Amino acid sequence: MFDTKIAILIQTDLENWQKLNVTAFLASGMTAALPDLLGEPYIDAAGREHGRLLGQPMLIFAGETDLLQRVWAKSIERGLVRAAYVRAMFATGHDSANREVFRAEPADAPDLVGLAVYGAKKDVDKVIKGAKLHP
């Protein structure tokens, strides 16, 4: 149905609250990077307006460090849109500090705990090959 795909990969060793938090942050990163994918506002039966949602699903996958690193490298090679969350971001308290710790990570092998990628469906499928949907 869609020519494009959004995949979010989450490190398996995280606490449940961390998995949910990282997923939410990565979904917001995809929304910010891809505003044209937002649908129209939702209107309820009383005529009240509610927030817009992305117009296509995001699939959530579970993975170990090696999978996230492989997807990181391949998504860069293919020029896919990315949003990333590194382990050090759990120790910060605000967005500016998050950007600082992210920038301090090794560019080719950051300590990823979450990664979102977007692009042509065939390209995303190739870079996430072997990933399993999050249970």
Q: How many CB atoms lie within 10 A of CB 121?
A: 14
Q: How many domains does the chain have?
A: 1
Q: What is the pLDDT of residue 31?
A: 95
Query: What are 14-66's pLDDT values in tens digits?
Result: 999 999 999 999 999 999 999 999 999 999 999 999 999 999 999 999 999 99
**How many angstroms separate the CA atoms of 17 and 21, rounded?**
6
CATH number at residue 87: 3.40.1490.10
**What pLDDT band is residue 71 in, cutting at 50, 70 and 90?**
very high
Determine the structural domain holding residue 37 and report its residue range.
Answer: 4-133
Query: What are 96-118's pLDDT values in tens digits?
Result: 999 999 999 999 999 999 999 99
**How many angstroms separate the CA atoms of 4 and 56, rounded?**
9
